[in-house]
Amino acid sequence: MAMEALRSLAALIDHFHETARWAGTLALLEWDERTGMPSGGAEQRAQQISDLSVLIHRRRVDRCVIDWLDELQEAESRGSLRDAIPAGSLSRIREDHEKAVRLPESLVGALAKATTMGQRSWGEAKERKDCTSFLPVLAEIVELKKEEADLRRVEGMSRYGALLDLFEEGADAEQLGKLFYRLQSYWSGKIDHLAEATKERPRRWSTVEVGIERQRALNHWIANHIGFDFQRGRLDETSHPFCTTLGPHDHRILTRYDRNDWTSGFYSTLHEAGHGIYEQGLATRWHGLPAGSATSLGIHESLSRFWENVIGRSEGFWRGVFPEMRDWLPPEFQSANPGDLALEVNRVEPSCIRVEADETTYNLHIALRMELESKLIEGSLRVEDLPAAWNEAYARYLGVTPAHDGEGVLQDIHWSAGLFGYFPTYALGNLIAAQWLEAMESSLGPMEKILEKQEFGLLVEWFRNHVFPKGRCLTSSQLVEEVTGKPIQPFAWNGYLEKKWAEPLKSFRG
């Protein structure tokens, strides 16, 4: 490679590494905001986040990036960059630049500020279980997001599609809507039946009171056990669990605790650890560049939902971990057996809360959110009518009605953070997780056997070999196709659930 191209490439990579460091600082400002920043700090924090978002935006739209890319074009077309930077990186960087320049700095700053204050306002409203004070704040965020969507959308893309593209590049909003509708039709009749079967088995173990200190130790243990590296990460507490990356070797997962249901924090830890294991498995050398970034949110959720559900709710998992795990729980668990626990964490109960929903009803929570958020963004639903629309949708999709806004429209932080178009990635994650399972079993053998031996390292290694290396150099559908030989589709998921529910569904069909 020519000296000049080498210099341009080094400059380009340095630029992205530095941008990633600023992004890591931004992530810390947000992490701190959600782990215990004094309430008095809110206003300044919003301003700090806005300042830094603008700085990062400036680096993303920096004309230098295009100049370097142009200087590299010839070398790339000759194929002489092949060993210097992973294939697909440069075209991704060019696309990202094209997308970023569409947004004016003023909008970036305004969005950062509005969503930081929005999350705080949401938190306060949720505490009060009343969304009145939050709605005008949300209305402002929706207006800004509409503005953003209008600037981002290209030919043939809906406003909502332009926001979905932020999390799942290349996904088609309309097709996704249809996919979710098919899933809903397929499962809605069966759900009633499974819920009936669940009612016959009252809760026994998840309701045993477990002290917070004990839960902390348990969750630390399980996250570490499945492969989350605490030399490069930590586990904290917050009101709405998440995972965030502060640097190539600093990944933080957050959970929450409920004295009266230890499984809630346990499963959100498994979920966030799944995200964390993904982030910790990305190529640190390319941190901040496409090859070192997560493919998409859908792929991210496929990892989190995989560990939370496909693994964490399987009987093999419980048979494997429980003999050891018992010692982290109160003494009465000595008389529990893995089979009972596996059954109990697989209750099918249409309910109001997404994050506590079972796997089978979960996608309905997503489909209804997608319906509502696309209407908000397209303008056919006003924010002031959202609470009523929420309750109506819950009755329609799941046959339940929230007792108050706290377990209704205020349950999720996403919209207050400006995350419209994010929810569908959870359901996509479910489908993809089942596709990973299928592919894994065909090369590693039956999962139950692996889990009984607690060989979690095998699974992490499989992901490291197949899913993590390409980063964002592929889209999610390209990656899934490459790894599983099939496009993203619901068959593996339906098969996975049907296998799980073979017994109760037999009587349903018969």
Using CB under 8 A as the criterion, which residues of the chain lie in contact with a copy of itself when the complex forms?
A: 18, 21-22, 24-25, 28-29, 32, 36-41, 43-45, 47-48, 51-52, 229-234, 246-251
CB atoms within 10 A of CB 178: 11
Least separation in angstroms between residue 214's CB and a copy of itself is 14
* CA angle (399 as vertex; 433, 305 as ends), nearest 5: 15
Cα dihedral value 202, 257, 447, 365, nearest 10: 70
Query: Among the options 30, 33, 169, 272, which is catalytic?
Result: 272
Nearer to a copy of itself by Cβ, of 33 and 301: the residue is: 33
Least separation in angstroms between residue 50's CB and a copy of itself is 9
Pairing of strands 243-247, 233-237: unpaired
Nearer to a copy of itself by Cβ, of 250 and 261: the residue is: 250
Least separation in angstroms between residue 10's CB and a copy of itself is 17
Nearer to a copy of itself by Cβ, of 33 and 308: the residue is: 33
CB atoms within 10 A of CB 497: 21
Question: Helix, strand, coil shares of the chain as percentages rounded to 5?
Answer: 70, 5, 25
Do 331 and 323 touch, CB atoms closer than 8 A? no
**Strands (DSSP E) along 155-294, which ranges?**
233-237, 243-247, 250-255
State the helix-helix crossing angle for 173-199 and 359-378, rounded to 10 degrees.
Answer: 140
Least separation in angstroms between residue 283's CB and a copy of itself is 15
Nearer to a copy of itself by Cβ, of 18 and 98: the residue is: 18
Nearer to a copy of itself by Cβ, of 30 and 148: the residue is: 30
Least separation in angstroms between residue 22's CB and a copy of itself is 7
How far, in Å, CA of 355 to CA of 254, rounded?
14
Nearer to a copy of itself by Cβ, of 40 and 202: the residue is: 40
Residues in the chain, overall count: 510
Helices (H), 1-134: 3-33, 42-60, 63-77, 89-100, 105-128
Q: How far is CA 117 from the centre of its chain?
A: 22
Do 191 and 310 touch, CB atoms closer than 8 A? no
The helices-and-strands tally (H runs, E runs) of the chain is: 21, 3
Least separation in angstroms between residue 45's CB and a copy of itself is 7
Place of tokens 């939370």: 308
Residue 18 catalytic?
A: no
* Residues annotated as catalytic (active site), given as ranges: 272
